[in-house]
Structure 1
Amino acid sequence: MKLRGKTCLVTGANSGIGKITAIELAKQKARVVMLCRNEEKAEKARQEIYKVSGNTDIHIILCDLSSQQQIHDAADEYRRRFTSLDILINNAGIIAGNERLETADGFELTFAVNHLAPFTLTLLLLDLLRHSEAGRIITVSSEAHRFARFDMEDLQLKHHPYSGLNAYCISKLCNIWFTRQLAALTSRSKLSVNCLHPGFVASNFGNSASAAFKALLILSQPFAISNEKGAATTLYLAGSEAPEHISGHYFKDKKIKKPSKAALNDAYAEELWEKSAALTRLELHKVSLS
């Protein structure tokens, strides 16, 4: 798919692989909409993207992805400002410390930002993506999903010992379940729904993590890859390189990779879908999936 003239929405586009993704999309003359939390950082990144790409069709929508209300407001703002959406890249993510924190909505913070946010945003904008000639939904997951210790009745670790790292691993597993279930539900449409592992990226990711995890990140820096390499698979799935009509897969290094056994469990994917719909109070009967 040629990206010139296509409209792309990228969450967390003001730093790390999100910014690199936005830059490369802009270089290919796509319209880029940056969904960011911090206005000052977003505007600084927007100016940099314009300077590097020469593309002035770069826009900002402010949204704190920990807030369901702000996600709804952001989706409404998107609809007011734009009439189409070709590519949605759910890139933003966090890893928290070892103190369990809840959002204003009462959700565990990592679960809220890394899973419920892309779930809600995607479904609120799904009809626009379905009207695209070849709509693509891309969610950044992680190989960390393989290490998730989870209980389907306690995905937010309310009743189990809390670990920020395990909460992150669970959320990345949820990204794959969400991708596979959405792909199954939209299998009769032209939508392409996939997720990916970007690699271990040398970025500011993990700034809110525990001291022990930050120390591990510092020690691991010599083995980390650049933001440019980290964005490569996202850009592959967004651009003309990726084969069309491939949906419901997990990618690594621009290739389909088999995720964990748990990630391939259809019953878990279906259960997560129902739980997410109940938690977000989305009226799924109003969402056109076919």
Structure 2
Amino acid sequence: MMLPLALLVLAGLTAAVAPRLLPGTEWADREPVLALWVWQCVVAAVLLCCTLAMALSAAGAWEDVRGQVFAPAPHGVVEAYALHGYGPWAGTVAAALACGGAWTAAMLTREIRSARAERRVRRAELLRRSPRLPGEHAAEDRLVVLEGERPDARRLPGPTPRLVITTAALRRLDRRQLDAVLAHEQGHARARHDWLLHCSSALANGFPQVPVFAAFRDEMHRLVELAADDTASRRFGRLAIALALVELNEERGVFGPCPTPLAQVPQRVDRLLAPAPRLSPGHRLRLTAAAALVPVVPLLVTGVPALRVLG
């Protein structure tokens, strides 16, 4: 039973330490795409630890599961794990971890269903305010302009993604700023940021007592916006997307002294107007490789008994 416990301890340490170290890293704002990768690797390592601990505990508790888990392994490898000595707690640990996995799947399903329901409501409202012309197909609705006194631009994801922009936004934005906003939203779509947000929200809502999942959700919401800002700035310049952010959010009070839900907008504008230098390619490569090794650690810990026998 020592190996599953070691994996659970490793998961607990990772879940406790990562939220203290990663959000304060100076390079995250300079390299948001790399920071997204690091966070995904850390969360994947925590989930992998729990999955491997569940598999080993179940193999120690039930003979049928053991035959499935160690089907391709030589007999000596199975003996190296000493599954018969796991004791009566193995089944309880495996069942608890399996319930956690089922709860995670249920929360992700609920998150996706909720997002789809909200998207249906928004599309119905959009169709009410901007009905299709005779002969016009849904796939053609890539850009929809709505009458509105407040400048706004948002993307509706789905099988036929659409960018909705109000007439007030069109009056405020010049051509380059509008193109930057379009590029920003296209950056979200190409990188599938909506799936990252769904997964992070499902984990945080399902396990609010686990600090790494709450930090993962908060950082995903922040980093995906920075990554999309960089996508737009590479095509149309940092000044264009910064001015577009100001024009779209100025009337919402985000630049005042009182905090609002969009309080990160001023930081995004400051970051665009006074960009810090990017990390060197070598530094980015080292961080990428180091992050990729984090999920490998649980695999190495799990494989130690087998490696001893095969070696």
TM-score range normalised by the length of the shorter chain: under 0.3
TM-score (normalizing by structure 1):
0.26
User: Whose helix proportion is higher, 1 or 2?
Assistant: 2
Higher-Rg member (1/2): 2
Q: Which has the higher contact order (CA 8 A, sep 6+)?
A: 2
TM-score (normalizing by structure 2):
0.24
User: Whose strand proportion is higher, 1 or 2?
Assistant: 1
